[in-house]
Structure 1
């Protein structure tokens, strides 16, 4: 039984894309927590050692190899920083954050070039703007998402990623251009709709539709260098984010589990890039939000 469980774990790791989404979003649900199958491997290893099962130990080589191939690279040391790297911070600050000033100061201590925030609500928005202004004189805010920058921003506009069945005012995306010392970068900030795990499975239709709209906007982007920052309410392994991950590079180093802050289980706060490599990604200390901030370094090709 241990050997069979090991083989099944390996099959799920390698062929997770074959798990159908039509019934309760099972495919996306599995892919949201795919790295945690490594924990299953550890449990099976302990049981195999206790039982002294040579067959189970040999079978465990399959899921161990599959997990290492898929996720082992994230654990490797980050590459040395380059002189023209772009350092960015992404954070869903939570509309219930009781310490926006402290949150802003914590993010600024990472000394990023760009700071993307979601769930901005008055009067906290004014506090973020006032606290970040000395180091980040340029900003653009659309609805509940915003970007603060050390460099001038132009061409700022809202990004329409609202699902069709949402009729009320809903503005959670923006696009702008950052004029950095090493060239212009199109910057997208987005907050995709939340997903819910219910008895019937994963409820994610709004998130999936919004991801498709965002993917269309990225496909139409004319500038070569692009950075996407956002709370995407999905992991990079989730097929629902294929409209994004097939067009942009994701983090090559760093696990960066960001949600929930009290006991992070998944990285749903993402940094992606086109014409560049997200060479490292890590979390920052907890703030007053239910998300952890993530900081990433983008190296341009």
Structure 2
């Protein structure tokens, strides 16, 4: 091959390379342009995530507006309201994975709403010292060792102790084990009060729903009679009205949804009893089978305040004892100052005891 042929070949090959390179560059430009057009920016990514995040915030913010007409949905949402915060890290992980700026910004709404509702429970609001300590405990009708439960409660040293789900079979055991620490006591049906101070003006409070769907347990345990009482504790600072109550159960039923009919009617009756109470100083102790965020307790929370909100530390969950998820055992007061609130160790029941210190 001559030098001319070689040069022409080289020139032709170079031209082909240039043509191919130009074509590749043109295709790359088209692909980049297409990606720029069809691939959304960070503010347009994850619209579904952003919508779900805003919906979460609105559900928490407007929980009182959720209707109860369908399956008691409003009360169900309010019962588990603190746990809605667990959706926040899940949505945050999704927003980061999708690189969605809009979803990240939308998270501000549920975070701020949750902190507004429950942020105060994260700090310790308790104060040392009190004039009187009180406690309440659902001891469980099926408790395998009531004597052990009674001994654990006596060791707590509280001044006034309320018990719920006392069966006729276990009643003598509680009376025996608690007699030394608490010289005064009363048992009305399945609820009782043990006190280091004298009691007077004791009477049962009728809160039981005897309708066809009433909360029931085996008849030999008589769980449908006398589930609340009222008594007066004589303190050196004056009389203290004490109510003990065990409201009906709340159940999730596939047909009825979140069924709380018996409990809600009991809560209404209990609220009316407290409203009629003439004593300025009142303490309500008991298993109310619901959280105080639930609208069903509006008649009670309008007149009494929860010690956990004022002087507690954390959420103070009491049920179930093995992995507490809800605070359904309550101490509420009027006319006295809550100084501290805490849960006691497991006693063998399916609930944890809850205690509080109060002052005049």
TM-score (norm 1): 0.94
Of the three residues 19, 32, 39, the one matched with 2:79 is 32
State the SS of the aligned residue for 1:187: strand
Note the C-alpha offset of 1:108.
2.3
- Specify which structure has the higher proportion of strand: 1
Note the C-alpha offset of 1:248.
0.4
Q: How many residues align?
A: 299
Q: Does 1:113 align with 2:159?
A: yes
Deviates more, 1:39-48 or 1:196-205: 39-48
Aligned to 1:270: 330
CA distance in 2, matches of 1:199, 1:24: 9
Runs of 4+ residues deviating >6 angstroms: none
Report Cα offsets for 1:68-98 as digits up to 9, x if no partner: 11111112113322342x3211110011111
CA distance in 1, matches of 2:231, 2:254: 40
Deviates more, 1:1-10 or 1:240-249: 1-10
Aligned to 1:142: 188
Deviates more, 1:166-175 or 1:264-273: 166-175
Of the three residues 66, 69, 79, the one matched with 1:22 is 69
Aligned to 2:349: 289
TM-score (norm 2): 0.79
Change beyond 3 A, Cα 1:279–1:237: farther
Of the three residues 175, 182, 193, the one matched with 1:129 is 175
Note the C-alpha offset of 1:275.
1.4
CA distance in 2, matches of 1:2, 1:123: 55
**Structure having greater relative contact order (Cα 8 Å, sep ≥ 6):** 1
Of the three residues 190, 202, 209, the one matched with 1:156 is 202
Structure number, greater radius of gyration:
2
Aligned to 1:233: 289
Q: Does 1:7 align with 2:62?
A: no
Of the three residues 229, 238, 253, the one matched with 1:198 is 253
Report Cα offsets for 1:32-90 as digits up to 9, x if no partner: 10000111112212322333332222211111111111111112113322342x32111
CA distance in 2, matches of 1:185, 1:49: 55
Q: Does 1:184 align with 2:239?
A: yes
Report Cα offsets for 1:86-119 as digits up to 9, x if no partner: 3211110011111112111222232211111001
Report Cα offsets for 1:229-284 as digits up to 9, x if no partner: 01101100011111111110112223111111122221110110011344433222
CA distance in 1, matches of 2:87, 2:133: 35
CA distance in 2, matches of 1:19, 1:115: 37
CA distance in 2, matches of 1:186, 1:105: 26
Q: Is the 8 A contact 1:249 1:277 kept in 2?
A: no
Q: Is the 8 A contact 2:126 2:341 kept in 1?
A: no
State the SS of the aligned residue for 1:36: helix
